[in-house]
Amino acid sequence: MPRPEQKPIQLTIDGREVKAFEGSMLVDAAKQGDVEIPYFCYEPKLGNPVGACRMCLVEIEGIPKLQTSCSTPVKDGMVVHTQTDRVRHAQNAIVEFLLVNHPLDCPVCDKGGECPLQDITFGWGLGRSRFIEPKRHFQKPLALSPLVAIDRERCILCYRCVRFSQEIAEDYQLIFAERGAETFVATHDGHPYVAPFSGNIIELCPVGALTSQPYRFRARPWDNESAGGVCTLCPAQCNVTFTVRDDRVVRVLARDYEGNQEVDDGWLCDKGRFAYQAMHADERIISPMVRDGGELRPVSWDRALDAAAGLARHRGRVGALVGGQASNEEGFILQRLMRETLASPDIDSRLAGAVPAPLARALAAPELQARVSDLEFAHTLLVLDCDPRDDMPIIDLRIRKGVRRNGVKLAVASARPTALDEGATVISRYAPGTLEQFLGELDSALVSERPASELPHGELAELLRDGGSDVVIVWSERIGDKAAATLLRIVDWLGLGDHPGAGLLQIPGGANGRGLREAGVVPDAGPGYATLANPGRGAAQIARAAADGELTALYLMQADPVRDLPDRALWESALHSAALVVAHASVLTEGLREHASVIFPAESHAEKEGTVVHPDGRLQRLRIAIAHPGEVKPGWAVLTELARRAGADFAIERSADAFEQVVAAVGVYEGLTLDELGGHGVRWPERPQSAPLRGAGSQLPPGAVAPPPRAVTAAPNGALALGTYRPIWAAPEVEISPSLQYLVPTQHLELSPADAERLGIENGDQVQAASNGTRLSAVARIRSGVPAGSAFLADGIAEDSANALTEPLIEVRRVGEMASAAADDEPGAA
């Protein structure tokens, strides 16, 4: 839908002529004229102003009463005074009232030095109070959650935190309780405020009432330095500021006050905000290690590199996997190493699902790429086979914003109920593993002449077709090739490429999945989707080949396939069979612990230099915020040195050299410089150099894939169709961050009330899920939104991960029944 137009106008503030956009709030317009109006409750990120703090009262000519400038839209010719006696009297009054119950314990307050209340009291208060009655007293600080401490004495009830919970995250866990002067910020019945975005309230708090448990008392603002960076813990790639003290990251904040509108809108998830602790955790790998006598031992770089240089002996028989945290440069150098030096084309970065290169290239056509801000202004938004809250958390907030503020019509099509279901206009649910059929039916429904009510998914088709031209589809890389082909046909049919506000936003499996793909870290395409004379094998085939002995060495660049990829057993066998396993890692996850021969300590995103690509095509720059801890060395340097020892000189002396090589190799990046990327990055699909990839969608042969017949979803014996998902907290960084321990996911089996009843399972029961002889334990979680016949398990987690199960159907039993049931099973068991 069209974005609001901005009409420039002029007004007078304190005698100065100020230019502003019509309808913007006076307090913002005043900033344009270098006039500062104090405020506490106003925060445009939180939506409409509430006018609660009354700090921003100003005098407007023609209006008898003082007005709150946070809620007064400017008009042409308005005359405003912010320095009159009346205004000053009101400001003094509000400061005095605010301090009536504020403890003024600044010397022991964590906010001291960066506290708006301190600043405003100093700037706009009288510096005295006439209040001699006893103040409100509370116990303090109290835990609001393991991450947030609350000091209710300091709270000025500005509404920011509760508005965030209620109107931005929409989790509605944080509330005001009671009324009047007795009001306080609370949760229901002593439950902690635990939600994926809860940490934002710390940053919003204009006083020291909400403080970060891990940051409390670690530093004073004047001890700190700030460094801009990009979080690479998930594909959202939020722009962050690292607060650095003594070369350690002690805090992570959203980068700009208003955030990068095109990336994160100024919010962070708790993983991005608090998992920085993994950088300085004892568990982090900070020196090279080599397996020696069956055990990994710290060694010198020289020895580790020499050991890894043994890869040269496996020429042609090396397979490589690249995890999402790798930068474009690292991926690029590694694919050179693999292809040029080791003659091994078997390299893959697609950990979630494999879309063949021509299709991937077609889906990446620049005109099909939606911007993040398009989520907010689309007519219709389809969330396809993913749950943004788990897969790319920050866009969950963006989608909610679009639905809430702009009336975006949201459709959710997924097997598992998503966090966005509540705001959805249409929800299409299909059985796990039947996405291809679903898309096929949707495709037919779109072109069908029959009324929507008669067709499967007719309502969704109608919404996509008739709901307005700006349709944005958010989809996950894990949907696989057949589904992706159908998706492309739907996209063509809907003409998403013809509308600037329409398009696709793919959530890759890894944080930099898109950048790695563009850098050529896929088996069937070189940098910039270049066609390869000699394509290699993808991840699944690499595992098979390694297990079968066809590949004898594996290179794991910030990836542990035992943790990250499907078919755990096969990968274990592959790693076990490989003679040499070289890995870059910062956490010793189970696959590496058991099987790695050489481990190089990997950089964190606060230490890395390089570039990554946001799912919407934005190249973003990683900068060095802190020195490398311990023996950690830059990934590009390690790879280059390794190549040298294997006999190749890549001519890379600095990270920037690697970037230049990437730019030279990837056509659509042509001419880009690091300076041009700057702080907010550059979206290559918007550059003229992207032309060669344009129209790639329509070049695909039509009717490539016909919808396959509907699969059997539930076997007669009552087995359940298994769907998997990766929880937001499933990350090794979370596991070693002390304050995130309570979030480390354990296995839960989500099933429908009907199946639970049939199987005699109650919520919270211990259950076992089994297929093909593999069993794993889980706690039952009965969810009304789960369709009967489906069950869901988490993968990417440390224990009982669903990647151990390989079959589409599982048997579920309550633990305790197993003993008797096992006996019954015997005769039929294979």
Partner 1 sequence: MRKILFDRIDEPGLNTLEVYERRGGYSALRKALTMSADDVAAQITESGVRGRGGAGFQMGKKVSFLPHGGMEKYLVCNADESEPGTFKDRELMQKSPHMLIEGVVIAAYAGGIDRAFIYIRGEYELQAEIIEAAIAEAQRAGYVGQRILDSEVSVSVVLHRGAGAYICGEETGLLDSLEGKRGNPRLKPPFPAIEGLYHGPTLINNVETLCTVPHIINMGGEEYAKIGTETSTGTKLVSISGDVQRPGNYEIELGIPSREIIYGLAGGPPEGRSVKFWFPGGSSAPVLTADDLDVPYDFDSMAKAGSMLGSGAIIVADERRSVLEVALKVAKFYAHESCGKCVPCREGTNWTHKMLQRIQSGEATPMDLDIMASVQEQIIGNCLCVLGDAMAMPIGSMVEKFRPELEAEIEAARERADAAALQDVVPLGVADEHAGPMPVH
Partner 2 sequence: MSPQVPRFDHGSRVPGWDEAVDLTKDPAVVPDPATTPVPDDLREEIEAAMAKYPDRRSAAIPALHAAQAVHGWCSPEAIDQVACVMQLTPAYLSSVATFYDMLETFPREPHHDVYVCTNITCSMLGGDELLDALVGAAAGDRSIHVRSFECLGACDIAPMASVDGEYIGPLEQGDAETVVADLRADRPVMPAKQIRYRQSVDPGVQPGAEEFTAPDHPTRADTAGLTPEDLQTDRPGPSAPIETPPDQTRDDT
Specify whether the CB–CB gap between 70 and 42 falls below 8 A.
yes
Residue 207 as a binder of partner 1 (CB under 8 A): the answer is no
CB of 146 to partner 2, least distance (A): 6
Specify whether the CB–CB gap between 602 and 310 falls below 8 A.
no
CB of 174 to partner 1, least distance (A): 14
Which of 12, 32, 71, 777 binds partner 1 (CB under 8 A)? It is: 71
Residue 156 as a binder of partner 1 (CB under 8 A): the answer is yes
Which of 25, 35, 90, 318 binds partner 1 (CB under 8 A)? It is: 90
Closest CB to partner 1 among 178 and 282?
A: 178
Q: Residue 98 binds which one of partner 2, partner 1, none, with CB within 5 to 8 A depending on kind? A: partner 1
Cα angle value 92/95/100 (rounded, 5°)? 125
Q: Residue 742 binds which one of partner 2, partner 1, none, with CB within 5 to 8 A depending on kind? A: partner 2
Closest CB to partner 1 among 101 and 213?
A: 101
Q: Residue 90 binds which one of partner 2, partner 1, none, with CB within 5 to 8 A depending on kind? A: partner 1
Closest CB to partner 2 among 31 and 188?
A: 188
Stretch that binds partner 1, among 155-163, 243-251, 295-303, 468-476 (CB under 8 A): 155-163
Report the DSSP pairing between strands 409-414 and 380-384.
Answer: parallel
Stretch 172-191: interaction string toward partner 1, x if CB under 8 A = ----x-xxxxxx--------
Closest CB to partner 1 among 159 and 274?
A: 159
Q: What's the per-residue H, E or C state across 411-472?
A: EEEECCCCCCHHHCCEEEECCCCCHHHHHHHHHHHHHCCCCHHHCCCHHHHHHHHHCCCCEE
User: What is d(CA 381, CA 473) in angstroms, rounded to the nearest whole number?
Assistant: 6
For the record, the structure tokens of 391 come out as 């897969």
For the record, the structure tokens of 667 come out as 């056509």
Closest CB to partner 1 among 131 and 742?
A: 131
Measured between alpha carbons, how far is residue 540 from residues 536, 567, 575, 771 in Å? 12, 9, 13, 20
Which of 13, 25, 57, 209 binds partner 1 (CB under 8 A)? It is: 57
User: What is d(CA 404, CA 427) in angstroms, rounded to the nearest whole number?
Assistant: 17
Residue 206 as a binder of partner 1 (CB under 8 A): the answer is no
Report the DSSP pairing between strands 142-143 and 16-21.
Answer: unpaired
Stretch that binds partner 1, among 4-12, 154-162, 305-313, 366-374 (CB under 8 A): 154-162
Closest CB to partner 2 among 645 and 781?
A: 781
Closest CB to partner 1 among 131 and 493?
A: 131
Closest CB to partner 1 among 3 and 89?
A: 89
For the record, the structure tokens of 689 come out as 């150099």
Q: What's the per-residue H, E or C state across 581-603?
A: EEEEECCCCHHHHHHCCEEEECC
Sign of the CA dihedral running 29, 34, 35, 39: positive
Specify whether the CB–CB gap between 711 and 648 falls below 8 A.
no
Burial class (CB in 10 A: 0-12, 13-18, 19+), 573: middle
Asked if the peptide bond before residue 523 counts as cis, ω within 30 degrees of 0, the response is: no
CB of 97 to partner 2, least distance (A): 18
Stretch that binds partner 1, among 49-57, 227-235, 270-278, 531-539 (CB under 8 A): 49-57
Residue 130 as a binder of partner 1 (CB under 8 A): the answer is yes
Q: Residue 192 binds which one of partner 1, partner 2, none, with CB within 5 to 8 A depending on kind? A: partner 2
User: What is d(CA 128, CA 131) in angstroms, rounded to the nearest whole number?
Assistant: 9
User: What is d(CA 154, CA 98) in angstroms, rounded to the nearest whole number?
Assistant: 10
Rule CB under 8 A: which residues touch partner 2?
A: 133-134, 136, 138-139, 142-146, 152, 171-179, 182, 184, 186-195, 422, 742, 752-753, 756, 763, 782-784
Closest CB to partner 2 among 739 and 806?
A: 739
Q: Residue 301 binds which one of partner 2, partner 1, none, with CB within 5 to 8 A depending on kind? A: none
Residue 128 as a binder of partner 1 (CB under 8 A): the answer is no
Residue 50 as a binder of partner 1 (CB under 8 A): the answer is yes
Closest CB to partner 2 among 78 and 201?
A: 201
Phi and psi at 73, nearest 5°, equal -70, 140
Closest CB to partner 1 among 26 and 244?
A: 26
Nearest by Cα to 749 from 814, 820, 821: 814
For the record, the structure tokens of 311 come out as 């890869």
Which of 98, 386, 473, 487 binds partner 1 (CB under 8 A)? It is: 98
CB of 207 to partner 2, least distance (A): 17
CB of 51 to partner 1, least distance (A): 4
How is the beta sheet containing 380-384 ordered, strand by strand? 426-429, 409-414, 380-384, 471-476, 503-507
User: What is d(CA 168, CA 211) in angstroms, rounded to the nearest whole number?
Assistant: 20
| Residues at the interface with partner 1 (CB under 8 A) | 49-55, 57, 65-66, 68, 71, 89-90, 93-94, 96-98, 100-101, 130-131, 133, 156-157, 159, 176, 178-183
